[in-house]
Amino acid sequence: MSDKPVILVTRKLPEAVEKRLGLDYDARLNPDDALYAKDELIERAKGAQGILPCHTEHFSADVIEQLPEEVKIIANFSVGYDHVDVEAAKKRGLVVTNTPDVLSDATAELTMMLMIGAARRASEGERLVRSREWKDWSPAFMVGTQVTGKRLGILGLGRVGQVVAKRARGFNMEIHYHDFQKLPPEVEEGAVFYENLEDMLPVCDFLSIHCNATPETTGLMNTERFALLPDGAIFVNAARGAIHDDDALIEALQSGKLGAAGIDAYNNEPNIDPRFAELPNTFLMPHIGSATAETRDAMGFRALDNLDAFFAGKEPGDRVA
């Protein structure tokens, strides 16, 4: 029997990550990339000292209570950890870690794609070409919204938000932001701070979401706040679907209050509200903000760094519980 710590890996990880994992751990891999239901997750965790999950596994208080006693750490393969009941984990003495920093560039790239794709009607255009319904060119054909020089509001100027701001400055965009506190001038780089979100929304030609999903931010973008945006504003969410209220967002898109939306994060993924797909002014991606080979490797190595520290008796660098 191996004396290496047993780690339950809930999804198929990059080859390089699984190879490194196998050097120091007895890894229970998921080569078929199956999605484990609650009961199967708990059953497979028997005999494991750690779990390396993704955001697709939900560790509610009920699940945490039923995990085998030998499980001591949940080392997430994700920067977000809203799928883990942190308070329940703390109560049980379960260590929880995440993978910050390493996916900021990839998520910022995806955010810019969502922004431009929504503004320039990319989904409509691609459908026309693929269906061979594109007939000709005219001055009135496929007219969208220009990104260059517009005002970008960023909700959460953290790691990803800061990179988005940097990329957006390449389009000469004027940066505005709301966060729980004003950041140092060297971090702001000229961005305008708003203590109250409601004060920022009226100046946002584009609004991009980059805050965590917490009880305070869940449903933050509701009917009243969408109404504060300029008519025709473009909404982008590459963070968490919980930040926006689906009914409010869809109503704003249907009414024309919002000109368009670029979305990579949804409520109830992957069973999203079907109305999003029916709207012509949505540019939709399947939660792929971190989906580059370089970033996925880096996320896995960061999760392994946290496991290595824990089993060496040290404090994991990315501990959140």
What are the pLDDT digits (tens) for 137-148?
Answer: 999 999 999 999
d(CA 286, CA 277): 12
The answer to whether the 6-102+293-311 and 104-284 domains have the same CATH topology is yes
Catalytic residues: 240, 269, 287
Q: Give the DSSP per-residue string, 99-113.
A: --STTHHHHHHHHHH
At residue 235, the 3 state secondary structure works out as strand
Q: Who's near 89: CB < 8 A, 6+ residues apart?
A: 59, 64, 74, 95, 96, 321
pLDDT digits (tens, 9 = 90+) for 195-230: 999 999 999 999 999 999 999 999 999 999 999 999
pLDDT of residue 1: 54
pLDDT band (50, 70, 90) for residue 91: very high
Per-residue pLDDT averaged across 70-75, rounded? 98
pTM over 0.75: yes
Mean pLDDT of 173-202: 98
Q: State the residue for tokens 């490797």.
A: 297
CATH architecture of the domain with range 6-102+293-311? 3-Layer(aba) Sandwich (3.40)
Q: What is the mean pLDDT of residues 305-316?
A: 98
Domain boundaries defined on the chain: 6-102+293-311, 104-284
Tally of CA atoms within 13 A in the half-sphere of 25 that contains its CB: 25
Neighbours of 221 (CB within 10 A): 22
Mean pLDDT for the stretch of residues 176-183: 97
CATH code given to domain 104-284: 3.40.50.720
Distance (Å, whole) CA 74 – CA 160:
23
Measured between alpha carbons, how far is 45 from 42 in angstroms, rounded to an integer?
Answer: 5
